[in-house]
Amino acid sequence: MAFPKLLITGCNGLVGRILWKKLSDDFDLYGLDISPGEPSGKIFQADVSDLEQVKSMFSRVPSLTYVAHLAGDPRVDASWDSVFANNIGGTKNVYDAAQTFGVRRIVFASSNHVTGAYEGFPPSLHARPNPALIARRDPIRPDSFYGVSKAAGEAIARLYYEFYGLESICLRIGSVTKEDDPRVNPRFESTWLSHRDLVQLVKKSLKADVKFGIYYGVSNNTKRFWDISNAEVELGYRPEDDASKFMI
């Protein structure tokens, strides 16, 4: 039986490498990245800010079913010019190409920084290091131009669903670490997303019956302040890890 084809944009980044290693048993994987990385007939070099490069790459993968869109500038302190070109423009280009070439669904890597200002801006008098539970229904409160760009990406995803029926699951991803260890930053006791839970969440997002949705991606941390109840109900997400167990 042939596996459905999945393109991972930003496949040479941290999250992209984790998914590439863990999704090959369920999908026929292809990659796109601005850096060539390891040579492979299934990984293509392209700049997502260039629509023609993106469309040219998509044309080389016939019958592409799914896209996990991770590519862009991942820096929280990135400049407006960079996130405008790479995150907003790049996301629009990926959705444009996906619609043109008949992709069924995109899992879009949004970010917790879409609502990061609920945590405050230290050393502001209004800083709240342990905010109340933040739910999907709460208004966006970006903490950076990066957060703004990810909010714009969610809006682009919604537009392409409404206009073209291109399905999208937007994941406001928490803190993923290279060594899968939350102890590198005190904040991660609340915001950590383990590799195992990340892979589970993406798999369930690709296969869920939901046509469009926005969900927080975080492990089952005792101190988490993002509501994942809609991901549990609608996607069947069951996170297995808790950052607090590392802190003992």
CB-count exposure of residue 163 (10 Å: 0-12, 13-18, 19+)? exposed
Q: Are 194 and 202 in contact (CB under 8 A)?
A: no
DSSP per-residue letters across 67-122: EEE--S---TT--HHHIIIIIIIHHHHHHHHHHHTT--EEEEEEEGGGGGGGG--T
Task: Determine the angle formed by the axes of helices 51-58 and 90-100, rounding to 10 degrees.
Answer: 40
Q: Are 69 and 109 in contact (CB under 8 A)?
A: yes
Centre a 10 Å sphere on the Cβ of residue 63 and count the other Cβ atoms it contains: 11
CB-facing half-sphere around the CA of 142: CA atoms within 13 A: 15
CB-count exposure of residue 106 (10 Å: 0-12, 13-18, 19+)? buried
Residue type (1 letter), 152: A
Nearest to 73 by CA among 47, 51, 54: 47
Tokens 């392409």 identify what position? 160
Q: Are 168 and 208 in contact (CB under 8 A)?
A: no
Active site residues: 146
Query: What is the torsional sign of CA 207, 209, 214, 217?
Result: negative
